[in-house]
A and B are shown apart, each in its own frame.
Chain A
């Protein structure tokens, strides 16, 4: 910046002095003054831009360059940090989004599997319940049938059962003399049938 400013200043001075000399030439003897000024400028340039000034300019340029480099490095560092943070944020967001999607898909799959398992279990439970009801019904029917059959059989053999218990209880105490009255009473009851059968049979 300084160099460019100095360069512009030098160029302005040259052009300004030139224009003054040309105006003077129009009035009389201007060409010698311009040459003098040019020589003086050349000698002044050599005088102004000596080694110290150049060294100073170099130092200033170096410092300025270092400053710019430092600022740019700082900017670059900031940009890098910002970019890194943005990248981290982006990565975080992306990973979170992807993970959310994956987790949602995974959860959806788990829910589907869970629903499938629940449906299967419900179907199995329904089938088991139906089978249980069927078996219960069959068992009840068989139980009722068996109960009815046993009861019918028991009732049909009631006489044998009672006879058995009576004989077990008092069988030894019943002798023929006690039976004779019963036998004669029974025969008296069947007398007509016996007579009829004997007559018809004969």
Chain B
């Protein structure tokens, strides 16, 4: 097992979160260093939800400098080597849904996958996933596109039905008129 490997919680979604977390850990590290220099008792500073969840996920103590170093190195490793997926939605998704998606991705695709979220209002529903080399259109529009033959078939059937209905109605009108004239 890689010694720099850390477990990313689902709250860490994007490379921005990694950078923000690294900066926060450095701040916390400075804080503990200042306390140590001043000879004061180590008190846990107030941390962000990101850092809390990271510490909790890795079951580490933040007051230990080695742990902090481990987390920072782990995060930097993730920042440099983790696969990044760009996912575009039609509307801005809530954080919980993004976290659910990231959880599924880290469970099924890669442990350290990071996600950047974008907006594409024209896709309707679903999302468009852009990986390193490919674009996976998982939108409703693409789903409809894949079902084009089905729609065409339905359309032709409905057109034929409407034409036959029109022909029947014309025949009925003609029969009514001919009956009225006779």
Contacts and interface: CB of A to CB of B under 8 A. Distances in A.
A197 B133 contact: yes
Interface string B108-138: 1110010000000000111101011110101
B129 A194 contact: yes
A166 B134 contact: no
Interface string A161-188: 0110011000100101101101110111
Chain B interface: which size bin? 35 or more
Contact of A155 (B83, B85, B142, B152): B152
Interface of A: 155-156, 158-160, 162-163, 166-167, 171, 174, 176-177, 179-180, 182-184, 186-188, 190-191, 193-195, 197-198, 200-202
B44 interface: no
Contact of A201 (B133, B148, B152): B133
Interface stretch (B29-37, B53-61, B94-102, B164-172): B94-102
Given A158-B144, A187-B104, 18 more contacts: A155-B155, A158-B155, A159-B141, A160-B141, A163-B140, A163-B141, A166-B124, A166-B144, A179-B89, A180-B97, A182-B125, A183-B127, A184-B104, A187-B108, A193-B134, A195-B109, A195-B110, A197-B133
Nearest to B108: A191
A197 to B, nearest CB: 5
Main secondary structure of the interface of B (DSSP, over half): mixed
Given A198-B109, A202-B83, A187 B152 contact: no
Query: Is the contact region of chain A dominated by helix, strand, or loop, or is it mixed?
Result: helix
Q: Which of A156, A176, A186, A188 has the most CB of B within 10 A?
A: A176
B173 interface: no
A184 B105 CA distance: 9
